[in-house]
Amino acid sequence: MSRHRSYPYSSLLLILGVLVCLTGFVKIPSKTGAQIMDEVVNRHKAKTELELIKLVVVDEEGNTQVREMISVFSQDDKGDANYMIRFLSPSDVKGITLLTKDAQSDDPEQWFYMPALGQARKIMGENRSGYFMGSDFTFEDLRRENVEEHSYYRLQDDEVNGSQVYVVMAAPANVDIQSATGYANRLLYINRDNFNVLKVEFYEEGKTEPVKVLEADQYAEVTEDSSVDRPARIRMNNKTSGTYSVMTLMKSRLNVPVDPLIFEPESLNTWTPETDEPLLEQFNTDS
Amino acid sequence: MQRLFKLCYNNAFLVIAIVLAVTGFSISKAFDLKVNVSTDALIPEDSPLQKEYQRVTDAFGSDQLALVYIEDEQLFTHEKLTLLQKLSKELNKLPEVERVESLFTVNDIRSVNGWIDTSPLLRKIPKSPEALAEKKQQAIDNPLMRRSIISRNGNATLITLYLRTADGEQMDSDKRVYNDIQEILEGLKAPPAPEPTQDAKSIEHLPESVRIALEAKKKAKEETAAPTDYTTQFTRIFQVGSPALHVWMADYIIADQKILLPAAGLILVLLIGLMMGSFQAAIIPVINAIISTAWTFGLMVALDIPISMLNYIVPALILIIGATEDVHILNEYSEAKGEGSLGSDAVMQIAHRIGLTLFLTGLTTTLGFAVTGLSALSIMQEFGTTAALGMLSRFIISITFLPAWLRIFGRFIRSQKHTANENARHRKVTQKVSNLLEKNLLRNPRRVILVFSLIALPCLFMIPKIRVSNDLISFLHPDSPIVEQLNLVANRLSGSKVIYVTFYGSENSLKKHESLQNIEAFSNWMREDQRIDTVTSIADYIALVNKAMQGGNEADRHVPDNDNLISQYLLFFHRSDLKPYVADKFSDANVVLRSNISDSSELNTLVADIEQKLNTGKFGDLRYSVSGKSVMVAAAVDKIIGGQVISLASMTALLFAIVGVLFLSTRAASLAVLSNLFPVVVVFGIMALFGVTLNVGTCMVAAITIGIAVDDTLHLMVRYNKELKILKDEHKAILASLRAELFPVITTSLGLAGGFVILGFSSFVPVMQFGLLSALVMILALLSDIILTPVLLSTTRLITLWDVLGFNLRNALIERSAMFEGLTKWQAKKLILLANLEERQIGEYIVREGDVGNSLYVIIDGELEVSKTIEGRKVVITKLVLGDIFGEIALISDVKRTADVTANTDTRLLVLNWKALENLQRYNPFLSSRLFLNLSRILGQRLKSSLERIESPAPFPTRTPFKNMSKRQKPPSP
């Protein structure tokens, strides 16, 4: 359920939100924004998700930096979610790990581990709008979307690359969220046929043009585990700096068992390159 | 020349029509003329420095900055910062802008709740005053922002625009950038029509409340998209940087050209008009200058040459040299008329009298300036070409348009004879000066030369003290608002000059702690240098992350010793954040220095200091380079001086060659050059004395000086050459040439000096200095030409004799006379030049028997008789003719004259005295040994003949037909 990998596809938006209270009094002729998002989330749902990702950061000159990372997500029945992202290459950054525990009942907790520093550090508070590891993705781009934090409005339908799409605007639901997020609102372009998110535009306060645009393509079923679609490529274009970052899904497993130990902060301090081997093995085993 | 003059005179209307048509066409083209005062033109193309610069800027981005300075006591309020952010974004959208550094873009590396946040300080603008105050403090505390982005007190900020390398003309791009920025600041730039975004579309499915909210939002967006006049929103807001400076400079230059040039021209017209007593004499140079300038501008457009900091002086150059020539022409015309020539005859007379001079001055000035163009600097190439074209146009117009003009308007020019009043004044001035020369100066040449030497020598010693500097800022008046703004920005924040110090290693070597710590040490050393405002390198970024990761202690702000840790720290940055400081693959690193040094020599010193320090190996042994546009420009200043030296040298060489050929004498050529160098030496000496730097403006003075001095000298020398041939006496010839040339020379020199003084009122410092120095040069050149040149010439026996003898006579003499036996033609000439010419009339005694004498005589014309009084009766011993020598016995041995020599006809003799021979011995041993050998042979021959004669029955025959004898068998002489 690749939640760490943002809402454009699958995991971003869970159940419907505040919109209900706004729309409750009015007769709606067709699907609302919230209903669309509901469908999006349901169609891409998975209990656990294991991904091998290649992250390519491209600067305005076309110079590239390539990193490989493994991403693990799991969510229990209560809705408490755990994420872990760990760098596999290049060798000098191997082992850098970001761990997030997002319990329904509490604020999310984060730990950061740098092998060269030796000890995991707990990160207090939120850093939604900071850039993730020198890429064009911010932390909030990679976060699971909390539907209570957003209101969804459906706008006029449109077309993206020849596909008919719903257009849904997501805006912060309250002032606290508004001050924490880096965006004023986002526009999601969702394929009407299969509810795959094809494009997301990110707007800042008072801007008429998006500061960033995310494009997701090469949707394909992760057939070995389920019939859920995943985009093989997500590209984040930073309109301000002229740079972009591409995440390519090299391997992916859904709903496979994940060792809960890897989400324990203490385990970070004992990390060795061998620690990742069982995880990597899982890409090759049958479910 | 005469034929051309006649042709133009006869077809006056056609010539004028053609000239005017060409002029009209040129003027129509001249509107396309570009002004380029950018410093690019100072950089030699394809130099290693240029290639290095190209490589560095390709890797690390542009070093060309435009800065927007914003100052406001209430800067850190939500309202002001929001405006500032909007401004920053608008500026970033300009096509010329490569990247923007501002409060909204520069990484603010800090520890946020244990996590490192490297996002820009004001990615979001907080609303609460507390949060804003905190942001302000963070900005001030951030070494990456302090001084480069925020002032120490936090109420002034810079938006720094790194500009793309301009395609095509730098100046066009400077102007565009400047105007674009200005339009944004003043809210004049219409924003691009907002693209219809999704949320602006009809919102059919939304409930009413949402729709209202969205409409309000849409309206708010439209409002923020509307242009804002930022100048009214902040206490102070303005732009500085290279585009602004270049545009201001161009404006200054144009403003000066518009007001001061016409004013200078007017003064010139008035002065010349008054002195010549003729309105026409005054306006013709101006008309000529206008036409020539139009032609030159037209040609510049055709050759794609812009007006630059150097060649904008060319119109003045045309006016100066053109005025001199035209006044000479008109003076001749007026004289010719005075002598009774009319119409085409008078015009032909001009060509006859000064045609050669006109041609020579045209050639010298055109070639002289063209040679200046043989420089690696495009600004020098452009100047050389423009000036040469200007000189050529001026020459062509002088020899075509002017004769045609005289056909129509010549009748209004008063002849010198008819205008008694004017003539009286004219004559009075001329008379006074020539009297002074004749009575005092020419008689005391040593004293005159001493006085000139006393002036020139200290100046000569001062010359090495001239500071070579190209400081654009110093070109502006110190009180000008531009200078005030530049200083304000530099003092409160940092200057706009960027220097890149680049270190070259191998792939990933700049991720290693050793290299980074060396760079850190180098950066810290640079920070201690008062000349540097800010220093930024990759080491600073890593040090800041280290500090944040280790708990925020200032003591931890350094590059750690662990290579892996460094690699892991680097993950906090987006590749583009580090682009200015580290090249792809971490093989090269770039330390960015900002300073406010505008003086090229100061910058050269700084670069030398940096290189010296790096060469010590104290900061590791990585290969390095110091580059940047300003570095290149500073280095190129030497080339400008080189260009000036070439210009001076080539003009001098041409002058030397022309005078040398005219007089067939290197000595005359040397003298002409010497008297021309006098004004140059004095002007440079005075520049050194008053601390005037040699910059792109003032170095033009040398060109002007030489141009005008060469012009005047040539007129004088050509005239002198002619007069010498007629008068055959240096003093008389000098005075005659002076009388003829004095008035036009004085008139134009004073007129031009007056015109140049006007330029001294310019607020553009190089123009001011140029004007005053040029006025000085005019006076110095005048003094040199009417005093020093004549005096120097009078001390020297020029080719007079050589000339006077004439070709055939010379050859016959050298052929026949035993004196010249075995001498080359050049040696024979030397010898002849050592001699004096004496003329004796029929019956005159040349030597008397028994007299003491120390001169030797060679007969060049006439017949003489050698006689002795023997027993009270005169016995004619022999007769002497061309080539024969007498007097050599008394010259060499200390005996009295042995016979009388009288002239049988009017006679001319070459007289050589002992002193001259002594000099020859000292300075030309080869020639003198040959000469003494010849003399010995002659003496030997004489001895032999004497002995033979004593033994013969008739020792004193009446005549010896030695003409048919060989030289060595000549009969004796006294």
CATH code for the domain in which residue A144 is found: 2.50.20.10
What is the sign, positive or negative, of the torsion defined by CA atoms of B7, B13, B19, B21?
negative
d(CA A55, CA A132): 11
Best CA proximity match to B652, nearest among B613, B702, B691, B603:
B702
Q: Helix, strand or coil for residue A38?
A: helix
Indicate the number of domains in chain A. Answer: 1
Residue of chain B minimizing CA distance to A27: B207
Bigger pLDDT: B519 vs B935: B519
Residues of B in contact with A119 (CB under 8 A): none
A157 exposed, middle or buried (CB, 10 Å; 0-12, 13-18, 19+)? middle
pLDDT above 80 (res B62): yes
pLDDT bucket at B532, cuts 50 / 70 / 90? very high
Q: Are strands A81-89 and A64-75 parallel, antiparallel or unpaired?
A: antiparallel
What is the sign, positive or negative, of the torsion defined by CA atoms of B504, B510, B516, B518?
negative
- pLDDT number for residue B931: 85
Q: Helix, strand or coil for residue B599?
A: coil
Mean pLDDT along residues B566-586: 84
Question: Is the separation of the CB atoms in B160 and B100 below 8 Å?
Answer: yes
Distances (CA, A) of A97 to A70, A93, A107, A121, B721: 10, 10, 20, 10, 96
pLDDT bucket at B958, cuts 50 / 70 / 90? very low
Alpha carbon of A63: minimum distance to chain B alpha carbons (Å): 7
Mean pLDDT along residues B151-174: 81
| CB–CB contact A112 B117 (8 Å) | no
Lowest-pLDDT range of B600-614, B694-708, B824-838, B890-904: B694-708
Residue of chain B minimizing CA distance to A189: B198
Best CA proximity match to B580, nearest among B30, B100, B20:
B100
- pLDDT number for residue B160: 92
pLDDT bucket at B974, cuts 50 / 70 / 90? very low
Residues of B in contact with A117 (CB under 8 A): 549, 565, 568
In this structure, how many other beta carbons lie within 10 angstroms of the beta carbon of residue B958? 10
CB distance from B194 to chain A under 8 Å?
A: yes
Bigger pLDDT: B172 vs A94: A94
Lowest-pLDDT range of A283-287, B28-32, B765-769: A283-287
| CB–CB contact A92 B568 (8 Å) | yes
The CATH code belonging to domain B492-635 is 3.30.70
d(CA B237, CA B234): 6
Q: Which of A122, A210, A240 sits opposite B114 (nearest CB)?
A: A122
Q: Which two tokens stand for residue A10?
A: 């699958």
| CB–CB contact A129 B202 (8 Å) | no
Mean pLDDT along residues B616-630: 88
d(CA B750, CA B320): 11
Q: Which two tokens stand for residue B206?
A: 């939304």
Best CA proximity match to B642, nearest among B377, B949, B910:
B377
Residues of B in contact with A140 (CB under 8 A): none
Mean pLDDT along residues B912-923: 81
d(CA B759, CA B776): 12
Q: How many helices (H) and strands (E) does chain A have?
A: 6, 13
In this structure, how many other beta carbons lie within 10 angstroms of the beta carbon of residue B527? 13
| CB–CB contact B114 A209 (8 Å) | no
| CB–CB contact B568 A117 (8 Å) | yes
Residue of chain B minimizing CA distance to A56: B575
Q: What are phi and psi of B954, to 5 degrees?
A: -120, 90
Beta-carbon contacts of B196 under 8 Å, excluding residues fewer than 6 positions away, are: none
Sheet bearing B900-903, strands edge to edge:
B845-847, B900-903, B864-870, B873-880
Fold of B801-969: Jelly Rolls (2.60.120)
| CB–CB contact B214 A153 (8 Å) | yes
d(CA B912, CA A221): 119
Residue of chain B minimizing CA distance to A20: B207
- pLDDT number for residue B955: 61
CB distance from B198 to chain A under 8 Å?
A: yes
What's chain B's length in residues?
Answer: 974
In this structure, how many other beta carbons lie within 10 angstroms of the beta carbon of residue B804? 17
| CB–CB contact A156 B203 (8 Å) | yes
Q: Is residue A69 part of a domain?
A: yes
Residue of chain A minimizing CA distance to B108: A130
Residue of chain B minimizing CA distance to A124: B113
pLDDT above 90 (res B768): no
- pLDDT number for residue B517: 94
Residues of A in contact with B113 (CB under 8 A): 123-125, 127
Q: Are strands B873-880 and B885-886 parallel, antiparallel or unpaired?
A: unpaired
Q: Please count the CA atoms within 13 angstroms of the CA of A176 that sit on its side-chain side.
A: 3
Q: Which of B202, B214, B567 sits opposite A92 (nearest CB)?
A: B567
Bigger pLDDT: B448 vs B709: B448
Q: What are phi and psi of B530, to 5 degrees?
A: -65, -20
Question: Is the separation of the CB atoms in B866 and B877 below 8 Å?
Answer: yes
Mutate to test the interface with A, among B92, B102, B199, B572 (most CBs of A within 10 A): B199
Alpha carbon of B626: minimum distance to chain A alpha carbons (Å): 23
Alpha carbon of A187: minimum distance to chain B alpha carbons (Å): 8
- The chain-wide mean pLDDT, for chain B, equals 80
CB distance from A20 to chain B under 8 Å?
A: no
CATH architecture of B1-32+277-418: Up-down Bundle (1.20)
Q: Which two tokens stand for residue B715?
A: 């007129």
Best CA proximity match to B764, nearest among B246, B256, B171, B248:
B256
In this structure, how many other beta carbons lie within 10 angstroms of the beta carbon of residue B692? 22
Q: Which of A93, A127, A158 sits opposite B198 (nearest CB)?
A: A158
B774-811 pLDDT per residue, tens: 888 888 888 888 888 888 877 766 555 666 666 677 77
pLDDT bucket at B158, cuts 50 / 70 / 90? very high
pLDDT above 80 (res A192): yes
What's chain A's length in residues?
Answer: 287
CB distance from A63 to chain B under 8 Å?
A: yes
Reported in sequence order, the residue ranges of B416-474 that DSSP labels E, i.e. its strands, are none
CB distance from B511 to chain A under 8 Å?
A: yes
Residue numbers of the domain that contains A109: 3-282
pLDDT above 70 (res B961): no
- pLDDT number for residue B612: 93
Q: Which of A59, A133, A154 sits opposite B571 (nearest CB)?
A: A133
- pLDDT number for residue B593: 93
Distances (CA, A) of A48 to A3, A81, B185, B374, B716: 10, 10, 54, 76, 104
Mutate to test the interface with B, among A99, A107, A241, A244 (most CBs of B within 10 A): A241
d(CA B771, CA B760): 5
d(CA B542, CA B118): 11
Orientation angle between helical segments B420-436 and B730-759, nearest 10 degrees? 110
CB distance from B225 to chain A under 8 Å?
A: yes
B297 exposed, middle or buried (CB, 10 Å; 0-12, 13-18, 19+)? buried
Distances (CA, A) of B47 to A76, B54, B167, B899: 68, 11, 19, 78
- pLDDT number for residue B963: 41
Mean pLDDT along residues B941-948: 84
Q: Helix, strand or coil for residue B955?
A: coil
- pLDDT number for residue B195: 43
Q: Which of B153-162, B543-552, B749-758 has the highest mean pLDDT?
A: B153-162
List the 581-600 stretch of B: residues with Cβ below 8 A of A: 584
CB distance from A157 to chain B under 8 Å?
A: no
d(CA A185, CA A177): 11
Q: Which two tokens stand for residue B142?
A: 């951030």
Alpha carbon of A96: minimum distance to chain B alpha carbons (Å): 8
| CB–CB contact A167 B210 (8 Å) | no
The H or E element that residue A98 is part of is: strand A97-102
CB distance from B571 to chain A under 8 Å?
A: yes
Q: Which of A22, A25, A59 sits opposite B576 (nearest CB)?
A: A59
Bigger pLDDT: A28 vs B811: B811
pLDDT above 80 (res B118): no
Residues of B in contact with A57 (CB under 8 A): 574-575
d(CA B545, CA B117): 9
Mean pLDDT along residues B712-725: 78
Question: Is the separation of the CB atoms in B239 and B68 below 8 Å?
Answer: yes
CB distance from B556 to chain A under 8 Å?
A: no
Which single residue is written with the structure tokens 């408490």?
A80
Alpha carbon of B580: minimum distance to chain A alpha carbons (Å): 12
Give residue B529's Cα distance to chain centre: 35
Bigger pLDDT: B529 vs B714: B529
d(CA B167, CA B597): 27
CB distance from A285 to chain B under 8 Å?
A: no
B629-653 pLDDT per residue, tens: 888 888 877 666 666 677 677 777 8
| CB–CB contact B575 A29 (8 Å) | no
pLDDT above 90 (res B609): yes
Best CA proximity match to B548, nearest among A94, A211, A123:
A123
Residues of A in contact with B127 (CB under 8 A): 179
Mean pLDDT along residues B179-196: 71
